[in-house]
Amino acid sequence: MLHDPALDELIAEQRRVLATLGEGGPPPASALLPATNQTIPGKLRRLIRVIRPPGEVRGVLLHMHGGGFIAGNAQMADGINSYLAREAGIATVSVEYRLAPANPHPAALDDCIHSALWLIESARALLGCERLLMAGDSAGATLAALTLVALRDQHDAAKKFCGVAFNAGIYDFGQTPSQRYSTESMFLSPARLRSITDSAFPGVTGEALRDPQYSPLYARLHGLPPAIFSVGAQDAVLDDTLFMAQRWRAAGNSADIEVYPEAPHLFMNLPTAMAAEARWRMSRFLAACLRR
């Protein structure tokens, strides 16, 4: 079975919620912890959004938001980051990276690498802890993977991060089978998938999109931190997660794979028991990484 059978009892409730909410919405304001914005120094001077846990800071997580490289902002992750802060004592630092088409690849990646290097040097002074984690949602998961590879190859710094959480990432822009079977009714429809590649990688088409500088599935993945890969079974990038997690393992890294039945793209943002279970499993994994 592709998913944990213990999740089957959550399917009926998820169906009821999805039938009434469609793509859902943000978490209630009462669930959010206070967030502060600040600008990190250096040539790129990127904005970051910081959420602190109510008590002791046990770790610091660098987060990359989703939005297909063309939309979104650091604030949209306040819900999940507030949850991680409460549940695991993790302070979160979300990156406000530049967006396409005004700033195509590698602008967003450069911002994420710059932010990671800054956090490696500044986490203890800023938040009183230097145990680092990383996470990303959708295109943010793509950026997290590319950032770790760049940290390893260019700065010998990937292992400064003791764990990473990938949520529904796009790892092959040449399209995995599940992407090719996407329908117009899915969030990542064929049209939306095309708009992502056209905007983020202008002029790059066909097999060239599988170059490791765009598609981390084709990168050398040795020497990277333990990872949890989460995805819904009804997500157009289901295969991206299945393939990437296995390549992560084959390269000698640790990888947990969590597939959630009947769940759509970025379902963790929805007010369902399935989403709550997924958030808890991710939180538990990251907390375990901090104890290693």
How far is 8 from 283, CA to CA, in rounded Å?
Answer: 21
Cβ neighbors of 276 (< 8 A, separation 6 or more) are none
pLDDT at 45: 77
> Coil, helix or strand for 225?
coil
pLDDT exceeds 50 at position 75: yes
Residue closest to 257 by CA, chosen among 275, 245, 249, 267: 245
Confidence of residue 1 (pLDDT cuts 50, 70, 90): low
Cβ neighbors of 139 (< 8 A, separation 6 or more) are 64, 66, 67, 68, 69, 72, 169, 170, 196, 200
pLDDT exceeds 50 at position 24: no
Cβ neighbors of 48 (< 8 A, separation 6 or more) are 37, 38, 39, 40, 74, 93, 94, 95, 96, 115
Lowest mean pLDDT among 28-32, 91-95, 98-102, 206-210: 28-32
Confidence of residue 267 (pLDDT cuts 50, 70, 90): very high
pLDDT exceeds 70 at position 25: no
Rg of the Cα atoms in the chain: 18
Residue closest to 287 by CA, chosen among 27, 121, 87, 49: 87
pLDDT exceeds 80 at position 234: yes
pLDDT exceeds 60 at position 240: yes
All structural domains of the chain, each given as residue ranges with its CATH number in brackets, are 5-291 (3.40.50.1820)
Residue closest to 72 by CA, chosen among 46, 95, 52: 95
Confidence of residue 4 (pLDDT cuts 50, 70, 90): confident
Mean pLDDT of 84-108: 97
Report yes or no: 39 and 78 within 8 Å, Cβ to Cβ: no
How far is 73 from 99, CA to CA, in rounded Å?
Answer: 9
How far is 13 from 31, CA to CA, in rounded Å?
Answer: 21
Confidence of residue 22 (pLDDT cuts 50, 70, 90): low
- CA distance from start to end of the chain: 30
Residue in this structure with the two tokens 């991680």, named with its chain if needed: 84
Cβ neighbors of 5 (< 8 A, separation 6 or more) are none
- In the numeric block, which tokens belong to residue 53? 């846990």
How far is 77 from 65, CA to CA, in rounded Å?
Answer: 6
pLDDT at 171: 98
DSSP for 116-164 reads: HHHHHHHHHHHHS---EEEEEETHHHHHHHHHHHHHHHHHS-GGGEEEE
Indicate the average pLDDT of the chain: 94
Summarised one tens digit per residue, pLDDT across range 117-155 is 999 999 999 999 999 999 999 999 999 999 999 999 999
> Coil, helix or strand for 182?
coil
